[in-house]
Structure 1
Amino acid sequence: MLNRIILIGRLTRDPELRYTPAGVAVTQFTLAVDRNFTGQNGEREADFIPIVTWRQLAETCANYLRKGRLTAVEGRVQVRHYENNEGKRVYVTEVIADNVRFLESASHQNRSNSGSNLPEEPTYSGSGRGNSNNRDPFSGEGKPIDISDDDLPF
């Protein structure tokens, strides 16, 4: 069985960093991913996908990602549920990311948001598991990725 997802989109808001009672960092943000077709009104539509990162990756995302930043996410889809205050079961679908790549440099983002003074981001990816058998699909030594709509499978 396989549960892997790769998304490329823009953040809809700044990441939200929190810590569990055990002190583990967790970050949540939403990625807007364009669809490869237009709607009835002729405009492009997008899906807004909730992303969750953990530990060092969560802290890195919180430090270097900002609203509007083009980002690639690799992870797995998770569906969880809980009961709300009214006793109804609520289902939540989200992507648990284990690899996040910043597809625009911080200096590019600074030019478009002149008030932002983000530090230059490190080259970080992965979940820290140290498994060298997994090939990084986003590796490119920091070079821009040239992707046309025809190259995307969705």
Structure 2
Amino acid sequence: MAGETIITIVGNLTRDPELRTVGSGSTVVNFTIASSSRQFNRNTNQWEDGDTLFLNCSAWDSARNSLASNIANSLSKGMTVIAQGRLTQRSYQAQDGSQRTVVELRVDDIGPSLRRATAQVNRQSSSSGFVGNQQQGGFNGGYQGGAGYAGGANGFGAQGAPQQQAQAPVSDPWNSAEPSGSSFGSFGTSEFGGGSDEPEF
């Protein structure tokens, strides 16, 4: 959406993601990412941490994906994550009656950082959207060594399409040797109307 502030943040989760269901029945997960800048101190010859940004984050399940549930089932406190989303600002009334304003990150995508860790990704089955490498539908193998796109609906492609045999080209007048006595290249031949009564250019 136009006018939104989209950012990407890399940091550590300060607590386990908290999954809950709100009054409307929607599922939301809340967590906090701590992101610290680091700089190299040439005097001490060591890396030093700068100020830490604590950013409250939220993500929601929708009819098309289970982002909030996936976060709660996959991430935990201390993990380094890469998150992208939209900054949002909201106001609320605190218990002491004061009005407060907070800035949060509405997460659209998130995953673990693989700089110092490994991860096992399990794809969820879905009744809609792109599902790859399935028979009778989907991408079905994709690019196959120079053969071009081999996918398509109903498995059409490398296996479904009839293979055309390479055939020698039909007689190509531009590829044949020039007959002796030919005046090709000069005007006045019969191919260019040179046999008519009109004078040449």
Counterpart check, 1:5 vs 2:11: no
5+ unaligned residues in a row in structure 2: which ranges? 42-46, 130-201
Give the partner amino acid of 1:51. C
SS in 2 for 1:122: coil
Flag the structure with larger Rg.
2
Shift of 1:108: 4.3
Inter-partner Cα distance in structure 2 for 1:17 and 1:90: 24
Q: Which has the higher strand share?
A: 1
Counterpart check, 1:71 vs 2:81: yes
Shift of 1:103: 2.0
5+ unaligned residues in a row in structure 1: which ranges? 110-119, 125-129, 131-154
Inter-partner Cα distance in structure 2 for 1:35 and 1:61: 25
Contact 2:4–2:87, Cα closer than 8 Å, also in 1: no
Deviations 1:46-71 (CA, angstroms, capped at 9, x unpaired): 21111111111110000000111111
Greater displacement, 30-39 / 7-16: 30-39
Inter-partner Cα distance in structure 2 for 1:64 and 1:101: 9
Task: Give 2:36's aligned residue.
Answer: 34
Counterpart check, 1:96 vs 2:106: yes
Inter-partner Cα distance in structure 2 for 1:97 and 1:31: 11
Task: Give 1:47's aligned residue.
Answer: 53
SS in 1 for 2:68: helix
- Structure with the larger RCO, 1 or 2 (CA within 8 Å, 6+ apart): 1
Runs of 4+ in 1 over 4 A off after TM superposition: none
Inter-partner Cα distance in structure 1 for 2:30 and 2:40: 28
Contact 2:11–2:35, Cα closer than 8 Å, also in 1: yes
Contact 1:49–1:94, Cα closer than 8 Å, also in 2: yes
SS in 1 for 2:56: strand
TM-score (norm 2): 0.49
SS in 2 for 1:27: strand
TM-score (norm 1): 0.63
Contact 1:9–1:70, Cα closer than 8 Å, also in 2: yes
Contact 2:28–2:59, Cα closer than 8 Å, also in 1: yes
Superposed counterparts of 1:118-137, under 5 Å: 120-122=120-122
Deviations 1:94-121 (CA, angstroms, capped at 9, x unpaired): 100011122249x848xxxxxxxxxx44
Identity of aligned residues (%): 30
SS in 1 for 2:5: coil
Shift of 1:43: 3.5
SS in 1 for 2:24: coil
Inter-partner Cα distance in structure 2 for 1:50 and 1:30: 4
Inter-partner Cα distance in structure 1 for 2:85 and 2:59: 9
